[in-house]
Amino acid sequence: MMHSTVSSGFSLRAAARRLRARFPLVDRLVKRARALKEWTRLLFGALVHWMTGRTPQRAHLALVNLFTLSRGGANDSLARALSVLHPPFQLPSATGVLGTLAPHDLARIQAQLETDGYYVFEQCLSAEFCERLISASLQRECLVLGDEMATRPEKIRARYQRGAARAPKYLLTEDDATDIAEVQELLCDPSLIQVAQNYLHAKPIFTGLSLWWSAPANEKPDAEAAQQFHFDMERIRWLRYFIYLTDVTAESGPHCFIKGTHRTGAIPDEVLGEGYARQSDERILEIYGQDAYREFVGRRGTIIAEDSRGFHKGLMLTRGDRLLLAFELSSSTFGANKRHVIRNIHVPRFAAFAKAYPRLYSNFDFEKGLLS
């Protein structure tokens, strides 16, 4: 005779779900108990992070879980605490690739970021600047990425050859990307730093940088190439810049965003319950409607500032290719353990800023002697 520990059609988990659905008070108590457990793990992880500079994986997961449980409220509370602990820098005038930004310009940008989750700065970089970055990127090996590549046990590296792509994404390593003079120029641009600081209400830190080529290589959107809607949750609060280094048309992979989905409470519980799961266009548009959909086409040199806590993706390419630089500034390095090594200084102002604002570059490891 066979015995089963769980009878057909019945389990403790299913019974608990029915109990929570029938009695809202029980559901609230269960959520509070889970939230307390996650807060405990997060705060312990914050102590470890303060002592070592690294976040335990379970503490990062607690941040994600608290985001889903609170629909973003936990992040807001933590961000307010960080703004008190690390109030904004006194920076030089906000003059740089975004132009000369007066206080009323910064207020206007801030208002749109808070409301919509994005702001587009058109053609901020010269054609010559973009061409130098294109040339530098083509001289370096990349990680070859895509859903098909993700199934292979070994990492594949190759230089990107325009018109001969074997995969949808060619990603320069972080340390190769930061070894390009034009990237270093952007990392010490006062206008980019000031806009991010205003949004964070705290001293910003460069916490992530990626430079990659996208090419048409598949007949359907590629999850590894971020061509399906998703939200990010690697930090507590951040602002990300997406910088077009090639002209981007509707066919060459425009960045897409769902307006307002960065705001607390904007993502439904049933979607948050799925965690980092990629979402189909159909489901996202059913929830938010076509009016919230934004597709950013633009000339090279266009810069999109975005709170990528909202739903976003890169549209699958059907023609041409795209070189994109993305980097984020966050109010804390708590979260994903990603650091960058700075092997060389190509821009004197980059070194000067690193000395003047050490917290801003605290996620970078400068080779010995570079800042002496």
Same domain, 232 and 325: yes
Torsion of CA 219, 224, 230, 232, to 10 degrees: -160
| Residue finishing a domain among 85, 119, 139 | 85
Same domain, 153 and 70: no
| Counted domains in the chain | 2
Same domain, 274 and 329: yes
Q: What is the pLDDT of residues 143-154, one digit of tens each?
A: 999 988 888 888
| Residue finishing a domain among 65, 85, 105 | 85
| Residue finishing a domain among 66, 85, 104 | 85
Backbone phi, then psi, for 356, in 5-degree steps? Answer: -75, -30
DSSP string, 56-83: -HHHHHHHHHHHHHHTTHHHHHHHHHHH
Mean pLDDT of the chain: 92
Same domain, 250 and 126: yes
Q: Domain of 129?
A: 95-366
Q: Which residue type occupies 214?
A: S
Point out which residues pair with 295 in neighbouring strands: 256
Q: What is the pLDDT of residues 58-69, one digit of tens each?
A: 999 999 999 999
Specify the pTM.
Answer: 0.91
User: Which tokens hold the place of 104?
Assistant: 């009323």
Percentage of the chain surpassing pLDDT 90? 82
Average of per-residue pLDDT across 279-308: 97
